[in-house]
Amino acid sequence: MPPSVSGWSLAIIGFFNILGSLFAGWYISKRSMKIFLSYIYASRAVIVILFLVSPKDSFSILLFSAALGFTYLSTVPPTAALVAKMFGPKFMATLFGLTLFSHQIGAFLGAYLGGYFFKISGDYTTVWVIDALLAVFAALIHLPIKEMRFYKEEALASA
């Protein structure tokens, strides 16, 4: 691929990331946050599998970039809202910080394992398959979440 494809790919990821985050904020204001998170993670698994089986041309890479970009940070609004809803504003910064910290560990492992498996096999297929499996796991693990309401009385009592 020419270098311009990677440049356009990053630009498309960024643009669709904005759209996905805005859509997430709108959607969760009307519907279940845990179901939205499950849909997003399940769609990531489908996106990755479709990318693996598609021809690797400029069009498929840019389409993949758009789809992945839409789901990229669209998990942040519902995750932040769930943390706030379940645990209240008093612990929001700490709990959301721990959530983001764990995601950074995952990002490090993804980058490291990508290089490791590429060195062993010469391609990234193994890492993409692991990514799809982890996305399915994430989709399933969000389903049993109980979206409890945090009441002001509880916040006042614990303050």
Which amino acid makes up residue 34? Answer: K
- Sequence spans of domains, the chain: 3-158
Domain 3-158: assigned CATH number: 1.20.1250.20
- Span 56-79, pLDDT tens digits: 899 999 999 999 999 988 998 898
**Could you tell me the pTM of the whole model?**
0.84
- Span 90-125, pLDDT tens digits: 888 898 889 889 889 988 998 999 999 999 999 999
Which amino acid makes up residue 109? Answer: L
**DSSP sequence for 47-102:** HHHHHHHS--SHHHHHHHHHHHHHHHSTTHHHHHHHHHHHH-GGGHHHHHHHHHHH
